Amino acid sequence: MFLQKLIESLSPKKKKEVKDEMRACPFEFARDNGGLELDAKKTEGQKDKVEFISTLAGLEKWAPIVPQNKAIPEWFKTQPGAIDFHPENFISEGAFDPENITNQVVTGVPKEFKTTYNATIKTCVGMHDYFKLGYIMPLWCDVMAETSLDGNSFFVTSSLKPENGPHGWILNAAKRIGLSEKEFIFMFERTQGFHAGAHSQKQYEHLLPLLPDEWTKSIVKVNSPWQIKTPKGWSMFITEPFFNFNPFVTGIPGIIDTDYYHIMNFFWIAKVRGLKWKMDMGMPIEKLIPIKRDVHEFIVREANLEDMEWSLKHQMFTSAKWSSSDRYKKYEEFMSNDGSKVIQ
């Protein structure tokens, strides 16, 4: 408050100079000066924010939402980028036609060479880009689930179920210190740990015949303890973290316009019947991908000569190096190159 009053006492010219300097590092000033509010304009170079707001006391400290690249599955991290290639092994697996194995690889390729023949999924650029995109929501408590043999029931309970919460002492404390009803509701909601409930099968009865026989008919809605805020025109695509391969449940994908509606819940279908299992706090349960609500012109057409020329140049460029899956990232550089350098 002192700094704000000091700024207001300056001349208009000096006030503008000080505020311009503050905008260059708004986070430092906000932290060091009690959250001083600047003019509501985006500073130059400042990025739009995606906010994940915990409605459960302390959740942001013990089970925060994190960028996807901070939650890469262990199987992918330990997967080698290349393997020792022996043609006879791949022929037996049906991966290669024996007649198409050339003399160059008839004796195999050592993993150190990292060629197209022995590269693994670890070198796939699409996989790397997938693990750079979006955010991961972890399960915020231990959960125990059970399904019936007929698939009509899917029960879920957790270590944070409401009766385990400190509601009694919160109510007593609220009475002692004279909290308003609004203040009490806020404190009460911050102790609500895990809520889940089933929807009537009538709501999705046309979907039921399409589900695998071993899946449950009951779909559970889980109330998320997170609110999400995105910039104007941006929504959040909610889907399951596919490459974590949850053996028990699958998530139903959906989109929420989180620039004006911030509540985010999600749905589970159990993939097993007649089973009881436990899911541990911290396991990835949802992948969150911000998407911009743009409308694009839609065109479907036959390839022309320009398209075919692009394909040919692209094929030749990417094939110029072994294990060339990363070279498509350099295609723009290749197309703009005047021939003055070699693009590795």
H-helix or E-strand spanning residue 177:
helix 167-177
Query: DSSP strand E in 78-216: where?
Result: 135-138, 143-147, 154-158, 195-198
Give the pLDDT of the chain (344 residues) as one tens digit per residue. 334 544 565 567 656 655 554 443 333 333 233 222 323 334 445 567 899 999 888 889 989 999 999 999 999 999 988 777 776 665 555 555 555 555 455 566 777 777 767 778 888 888 989 999 999 999 999 999 999 999 999 988 888 755 444 455 555 655 565 656 555 555 555 555 677 888 889 999 999 999 999 999 999 999 899 999 999 999 999 999 999 999 999 999 999 999 999 998 999 999 999 999 999 999 999 999 999 999 889 999 999 999 999 888 888 877 777 665 666 677 677 776 666 666 66
Domain map of the chain by residue range? 1-44
| Alpha-carbon gap, residue 269 to 154, rounded angstroms | 8
| Alpha-carbon gap, residue 284 to 68, rounded angstroms | 10
**For the range 210-217, what are the long-range contacts, defined as Cβ-Cβ under 8 Å and sequence gap of 24 or more?**
211/269, 212/271, 214/271, 214/272, 214/273, 215/151, 215/250, 215/269, 215/270, 215/271, 215/273, 216/147, 216/148, 216/151, 216/152, 216/153, 216/154, 216/269, 216/270, 216/272, 216/273, 217/151, 217/152
* pLDDT score of 333: 72
